Structure 1
Amino acid sequence: MTEGSQPGRADTGQRYEVFHTDCAARDTVDHVTSRWGVWVLISLQRHDLRFYELRDSIRGISEKMLAQTLRALVQDGLVWRTVEPTTPPQVTYGLTEFGRDVGEPLLDLFDRITRRLAPEAGDREAAG
């Protein structure tokens, strides 16, 4: 059983007013840029993960926050969820096409930041 849907592309003439509180796109932006949303999307970029694998890949996230974040991202159509009818159930998460499209720039941003910080970390160690 797979949950999550991918919203259709908006008509190219349609624009969302993301600065208005009732904008439909604003909730999705809030979920993607939340404290844990970014890390979930980055973690799932490389491959699909089961719940506990995902939790272990994101240091510091509680099971409660991971469940809430995943629920929001599934509802937004960024993440799919599959439940295998085993005992206990095996739940796997992955990115939809929409999730990959949104997550790629986040991964690129993360890579740019870590590349930029890497030389500075070495400079501080040499100076210390």
Structure 2
Amino acid sequence: MTDGYVARALDAMKADPARRWTVSALARVCGLSRAAFARRFTRALGVSPLRWLTEHRLRLAQERLRETDLTLAAIAAELGYTSEFAFAKAFKRLFGIAPGLFRRRVALFHPRITSIPALRATQAFRAAA
């Protein structure tokens, strides 16, 4: 990142993704006006600051869905979503798949993840068939 102002904002969002960031708050972190910050950020990354934050949170959610057995509600809270429903809606809008289904599909193709309840249910179903 060649723009130090934008890099500062990215670092802040990465350090605290659950925070209720606003464009104004990010601009303050960078020492810029809201409008100047928004223009610089969008020019540098091609998306608005809050769009970038949403996508970053949801990429983190993908990691947690793949690598942990945290509930959807716990992941949602950890990443700053007000509810499991809001999290699931945002996840599906970006990735085209519900987070629970994403987790089940990942588990089917990565058997090392065995602590996921949905995987155990799928394995039990296969064994019974």
User: Which range, TM-score by smaller chain?
Assistant: 0.3 to 0.5
TM-score (norm 1): 0.32
Structure showing the higher strand proportion among its residues: 1
Structure-2-length-normalised TM-score: 0.32
Greater relative contact order: 1 or 2 (C-alpha under 8 angstroms, separation 6 or more)? 1
Return the structure number with greater helix share: 2
